[in-house]
Chains A and B, each alone.
Chain A
């Protein structure tokens, strides 16, 4: 879903900005093979996340039922059978100690990972754009005040604040919402800085000056003249925020303060698996591999969108990249460059 949304937004952005146009964007995106592969992987992961209940039902399992008969109580709960108990009933085996179905837990874990990261990214972007626009358009004092607040937010490390806030807030607040909220409220400074800088430079352009002279208000100028031009840098930045947020959620859950059991999460599985890797290596390798593949695919996709959206990078990179003309394009494929 995130991918569809991004692409949709990106498409809208480019149609709104006549300078780049919709088709060059798609063309530039399509010519990057690595990006296409990444997009397919992300789409698959999104499908797994959305269809988790359906997939678990097809498998005939659910993420919370204990299967004590599938683990060896003599060895302290090592799954019976090879590769962590992989079988026709349990596609990825079972969890050590409890015997819960690993595939169902991984699929439901995808929901948590992607869902929390998506919500967090949306919050970051909304707050960042709002603050950045207000700072860029407001008078001297508004700009000063908002810029100083942004400086303070830059100094607050997300992980540290999240750890602290998770201590104070009572357990009755659902953790996924809380984690997304904290990331969103603390991590918007980067976007806001970019938006402010862009707004300041756009403000002096003729079309914005013309809009102001014809009596438009700040909100109208922001919506009609600035936002379309801001779409490219904002999308570029936010597609890279998304994988970073996935890592933050996984890290918090890995440390044992994020998503609480019985809700499954990849980070939490990794931290449980820490003590089991000798007896049940698949229990560790599966969430580790999934986490890596997800973040990697999203990063590659993000870089691809960035290359496709930033005509400057696309056109500049070949100049001086190489004296050999043929080599340039292949080198550029996966690289956002500059």
Chain B
């Protein structure tokens, strides 16, 4: 296992370097920050002087060399906009996103397992139909739409919840719900699908024949069969949230990394773009290793490969 993890780490490092190179060069294709930073009224000379002083006029390879040189000393660059180390800004925003992702995925997986299992018990039954339609409808609703309507209904009309912001546990309800619906919808489908085939499999039939209680069959025997696909899909969805729960962070005013990344891309604050991409990529890469290890632990066949 140790060997496996170290091999994966080397792979991860290779991908990370590739990513950094790609982000560096591709982001420079999207224009020079000079015009965005300076006021529209700035003169042509001021613009020239600014670009010169910040090194935007240097050849790209020179700029890249500088970036690599700094990286070697664990200097991730200085934000043009915030005028402070880019990694500081990224690290400040990351915990919020991680918290959102953790709570959301925990709830999404728990709920999906219960609903999916119950739906699979009688495929085509009334509960199955309702659950499928509701979860799919949720998964296909535009999240910014759900978020704003949620605020108008639950905060403005009913006054049950705060509109936005952070603070009490009540502030969590709407953001988490909005984040939850898509992973939940997809996971219900996954759980349901794998459970249906498990329930008609030989070992469940054997268990039934042995007189094992139906509840035990569903939640213990059949559900175990769903673990791997659920982990795969949940991993993808968690990665998507870690990469930025942009809509939720934007609308509800949660200071997360997705928002920071988007703002920096729009303002061409390259140092922060690079720092945030690096941070989220490392996080996703660690998560993928954990998932792979979980696979190996749960399924002995994979361990031997």
Chain A partners chain B: no
Interface residues in chain B, defined as those with a beta carbon under 8 Å from any beta carbon in chain A: none
A residues neighboring B (CB under 8 Å):
none
